[in-house]
Amino acid sequence: MLPAPDPICAPATPLLPAAVALVRVSGRGLAPLLSPLVALPEPRKASLRTLRWDRFRERALVLYFPGPNSYTGEDVVEFQIHGNPLLVRRLLRHLGTLGVRLAEPGEFTRRALLNGKQGLLEAEALRDLVAAETDTQVRLAQARAGAQPEWISEARFRLAPWMARAEAAVDYGEDEKIYLNLKDLGVDLEPLRARFHVEHRRAQAGQHLQSGIRLAVVGRPNAGKSTLFNALAGEERAIVTDIPGTTRDVLEVRCEWRGLPLRLFDTAGLRDTEDPVERLGMARVGPVLEAADLVLHLVPAGERASELIQATLLPFRGKVLEVSTFSDRASVPGVAVAANLGDLDALEVALQEHLLGGLAPDACLGAMATDRQVELLGELAKQMDLLLDLDADCPPELPASMLQGAWGLLARLTGEDRADSALDALFSGFCLGK
Please report how close the Cβ of residue 252 comes to ligand GDP at its closest, in angstroms: 15
Smaller CB distance to ligand GDP: residue 115 or 246?
Answer: 246
What is the C-alpha radius of gyration for the chain, rounded to an integer number of angstroms? Answer: 29
Among 79, 162, 265, 326, binds ligand GDP (CB under 6 A): 326
**Residue 106 in contact with residue 96, Cβ under 8 Å?**
no
Among 26, 70, 247, 383, binds Mg ion (CB under 5 A): 247
Instruction: Kindly identify the residues of this chain, within the stretch 245-284, that bind ligand GDP according to CB under 6 A.
Output: 246-247, 269
Cα distances (angstroms) measured from residue 178 to each of 94, 174, 185: 68, 7, 15
How many C-beta atoms surround the C-beta of residue 198 within 10 A? 15
How many C-beta atoms surround the C-beta of residue 417 within 10 A? 13
Strand partners, 247: none
> Which of Mg ion, ligand GDP, none sits in contact with 222, Cβ below 5 to 8 A by type?
ligand GDP
Please report how close the Cβ of residue 219 comes to ligand GDP at its closest, in angstroms: 6
Smaller CB distance to ligand GDP: residue 285 or 406?
Answer: 285
Please report how close the Cβ of residue 83 comes to Mg ion at its closest, in angstroms: 45
Assess 210 for contact with ligand GDP (CB under 6 A): no
Assess 312 for contact with ligand GDP (CB under 6 A): no
Please report how close the Cβ of residue 337 comes to ligand GDP at its closest, in angstroms: 6
Q: Which stretch binds Mg ion (CB under 5 A): 20-28, 42-50, 246-254, 335-343?
A: 246-254
> Which of ligand GDP, Mg ion, none sits in contact with 340, Cβ below 5 to 8 A by type?
ligand GDP
> Which of Mg ion, ligand GDP, none sits in contact with 377, Cβ below 5 to 8 A by type?
none
Burial label for 365, CB within 10 Å (0-12, 13-18, 19+), is: middle
What's the DSSP call for residue 82? Answer: E
Among 293, 303, 328, 375, binds ligand GDP (CB under 6 A): 328
> Which of ligand GDP, Mg ion, none sits in contact with 221, Cβ below 5 to 8 A by type?
ligand GDP
One-character DSSP codes across 174-228: HHHT----HHHHHHHHHHHHHHHHHHHHHHHHHHHHHH-EEEEEEESTTSSHHHH
Smaller CB distance to ligand GDP: residue 221 or 429?
Answer: 221
Instruction: Kindly identify the residues of this chain, within the stretch 221-250, that bind ligand GDP according to CB under 6 A.
Output: 221-227, 240-242, 246-247
**Residue 132 in contact with residue 116, Cβ under 8 Å?**
no
What's the DSSP call for residue 279? Answer: H
Closest CA to 288 of 321, 249, 254: 249
Smaller CB distance to Mg ion: residue 11 or 224?
Answer: 224
What is the Cα–Cα distance from 309 to 417, expressed in whole angstroms?
A: 51
Q: Which stretch binds ligand GDP (CB under 6 A): 129-137, 197-205, 282-290, 322-330?
A: 322-330
Among 338, 344, 355, 368, binds ligand GDP (CB under 6 A): 338
C-alpha 55, offset from chain centre: 45
> Which of Mg ion, ligand GDP, none sits in contact with 241, Cβ below 5 to 8 A by type?
ligand GDP
Total residues contacting Mg ion by CB under 5 A comes to: 4
Maximum CA extent, the chain: 86
Assess 226 for contact with Mg ion (CB under 5 A): yes
**Residue 267 in contact with residue 288, Cβ under 8 Å?**
yes
Strand partners, 298: 219, 323
Say what the alpha-carbon torsion angle 51, 52, 55, 56 is, to the nearest 10 degrees: 0
Assess 325 for contact with Mg ion (CB under 5 A): no
Smaller CB distance to Mg ion: residue 107 or 278?
Answer: 278
Smaller CB distance to ligand GDP: residue 70 or 226?
Answer: 226
Closest CA to 144 of 127, 167, 165, 164: 127
Assess 340 for contact with ligand GDP (CB under 6 A): yes
Strand partners, 219: 298
Please report how close the Cβ of residue 77 comes to ligand GDP at its closest, in angstroms: 57
Smaller CB distance to ligand GDP: residue 54 or 235?
Answer: 235
> Which of ligand GDP, Mg ion, none sits in contact with 375, Cβ below 5 to 8 A by type?
none
Q: Could you give the 3-state DSSP secondary structure of residue 257?
A: strand
Give alpha helix (H) positions in 300-360.
307-313, 345-355
Residues within the interface to ligand GDP (CB under 6 A): 219, 221-227, 240-242, 246-247, 269, 325-326, 328-329, 338-340
